[in-house]
Structure 1
C-alpha cells in the first residue's frame, strides 16, 4: 500500500497505553520493571527520527517515572528492515543525540532515554555491543568509545506459546500477526486463540478499529488476500458479521488510492482526465468525479 503497512500496524497498536505497559512488563529486564512506575507511562508527541533515520525505524515515545524520583523516556523503535542492521548503535546514537539536542535548544534538562528495538525479520538478530564493531580493542582505548545499550525484542526468538500466553490479548495477537504475517496456515491454525477475545468487544469502537487494522495489515501490497481467508480467520459469530463489510471497505479504499495515483499521473502528463472518469473503477461515478475535480484543482 502507499504507506508502510508495518509502520501503521505498529503505531496503531503500540500507541495504546495498555499494550505499552504490558510490553514493558513482558520484555524489559525484571530489575528495570521493578523500578519503573508503569502507571505513569504516558505517550508523548515527540519523535526523534529525522530523514537520515526514517529508512531504519519508526518510533513511539513514552515518558514514565523511575524510582519515584526521575522522569525517563522509553522509545519503542520498529525496525523497518527484514534483516539485521549491521551497526544499529550508529543509528541509535544519532537518535539519542537528536533527543538531547532538542532539549538543549529548548533549554530543558536532559532526560535519559531507553531505546527498544522491535525486530520482525525471519533471520535472528544476535545482540552485539558497540565495542565489538571494532574488533579487538585495547583496554586503554576503550574509554574513547561511546558506551550505551539498547533493548532488543526479536520476535522470531520467542516461541508461539509464550506470545499467545501473554495476558494482554491485544499485545499477544499483534506480535503473533507480526511474526507470522506471511504464514496463512499458521494464522488459521491459531485463530481460536488469536481472535476469539475480539468477540466480546467487536461492537465497540476499539474492537472495530482492531478488526480493520488487522485486515489491512494482513493485506499484501495493493492486493488483499482472498475474501475466503478472512472469512475463515474471523469465523466467530459476532465478528464474522462485520468482517465482510470491513473487507469491502478496505477494497474500496485500495481502489481509490490506486485511482488517485493513476489520475494524478495522467493529469501531470497533460491528459484530459475528465474522459478517464467514465471508466469503471469499482467506485461510484459521483466519487470518481469528485476525485477528478480535486486533482484538477490541485487539492489531491
Structure 2
C-alpha cells in the first residue's frame, strides 16, 4: 500500500522522540510506564511491516531500556482501517514474527516488543484477549494458544478536553486533528487552543515543519478545503502568514491538476465498479459500455477489456 496522507502525518509526528515519549507517558499503563527509561527512547530506522501488513497499519519503532538494563522495542502502529479489525492479534503475531526473523538474520537474539495501536476510526475499539476468538476453550487446551497482548489507543475514547490536556502541545494538537480531521466546524471552534502555542515556535525548524505537515494533512482529507477555511483556522498573525504561504506554495499550485485528475479517476473507478458487477452477473458489458459517454471511447474500450481479463 503506498503511503497515504494519514501515514505521512502519523510518521512525521511520531518519529519525533519528544512526541513518542509523551505519548507513552500519557497512555501506557502505569506499572509498565514507570519501568520504562524514557530518556533512552531511540527511533529505529526500520519497519516490520511487509506487503500484507501494510494493508493494516504503518509503524514507527523505538528502542528503549526497561528497568535498568533490559532492552525492549516499542512499536507504535497506526491503524489504516476505519473499522475495528476483527482479529488484530493475527496481524500483530505476523508483525512480531517479522521482528524476530529480522533479529535472526542479524544473528541477534529475538527482542521483546510492545505493540501499541493508534486507532482513529469512528466505531469504538475495545480490547479482547486472543483466547476470545476461539470461544470456550478447555483449560488443558489453553496452553496451545499463543498468549500476548497489545495496547490500544482509541482516539474516540478520549473527549476533546482530555486530548487537549496532554502536556505535549504537538501531541495534543495532532491527536485532536486526527480525531476531527473531517469536522471543519469543530476545528474552527477550537482554533484558539489548537495553534496559538505555535506562535512562539513557528520560526523554528520544528514549528515550521509541523505547520506545513498540518496544512497538507488537513487539505487532503475529503474535499479540498477552501483557502478561507485555513485563513480562519490559524488564529494568530504569524502562524497565519506561514500557513497561508504553505497553502499557496503547496496546495494551490497543484489544485487545478489535482481536481482534473481526481474527476477523471473518480469516473474511471465508478465505471469499472459498474462493469465488474455487471460482468459477474453475466450481462453484456460491451452493450453497457456503448451507452457510457463520460470518458473517451478509447479509454472505455480499454477498461472493458481490463474487466474481462481480471474478473
Structures share fold, TM-score greater than 0.5 = yes
2:195 touches 2:234 (CA, 8 Å); kept in 1? yes
The 8 Å contact of residues 222 and 254 in structure 1, kept in 2 or not, is answered as no
Aligned twin of 1:98 = 98
Partner SS state of residue 218, structure 1: helix
Taking the aligned partners of 2:236 and 2:245, their CA distance within structure 1 comes to 15
Q: Is the 8 A contact 2:219 2:251 kept in 1?
A: no
Matched, 1:229 2:256: no
SS in 2 for 1:209: helix
| Residue of structure 1 equivalent to 2:139 | 139
**Following TM superposition, by how much is the alpha carbon of 1:235 offset from its aligned partner in structure 2, in angstroms?**
2.3
Q: Could you tell me how far 1:259 is from its partner in structure 2?
A: 10
Q: Deviations over 1:69-101 (max 9, x none)?
A: 101000000000010000000000000000001
Q: 1:107 to 1:257 in 2, by over 3 A?
A: farther
What do residues 146-174 of structure 1 show as CA deviations (whole Å, max 9, x unaligned)? 00000000000011111101110000000
* Residue 171 of structure 1 pairs with residue 134 of structure 2: no
Which TM-score applies when normalising by structure 1?
Answer: 0.83
Q: Report the RMSD for the aligned CA atoms in angstroms.
A: 2.0
Task: Please state which structure has a larger fraction of its residues in helix.
Answer: 2
Moved over 4 A (4+): 255-262
In the aligned structure 2, how far is the partner of 1:81 from the partner of 1:257? 28
Specify the alignment match of 2:150 in structure 1.
150
Tell me which residue corresponds to 1:285: none
Distance 1:110 1:16 in 2: 25
Q: Equivalences for 1:14-33 in 2 at 5 Å?
A: 14-33=14-33
Aligned residue for 2:78, secondary structure, equals strand
How many residue pairs get matched? 262
What's the offset of the Cα at 1:246?
Answer: 0.7
Please name the residue that 1:71 is paired with.
71
Tell me the SS of whatever aligns to 2:118.
strand
Query: So what's the TM-score if we normalise by structure 2?
Result: 0.80
After TM superposition, the structure 1 stretch with the greater mean CA deviation from structure 2, 212-221 or 166-175, is: 212-221
Shifted more, 118-127 versus 251-260: the winner is 251-260
In 2, the alpha carbon distance for the partners of 1:261 and 1:86 equals 35
Q: Name the residue aligned to 2:285.
A: none
CA distance in 1: counterparts of 2:257 and 2:12, whole angstroms: 20
Unaligned 5+ runs, structure 1: 266-300
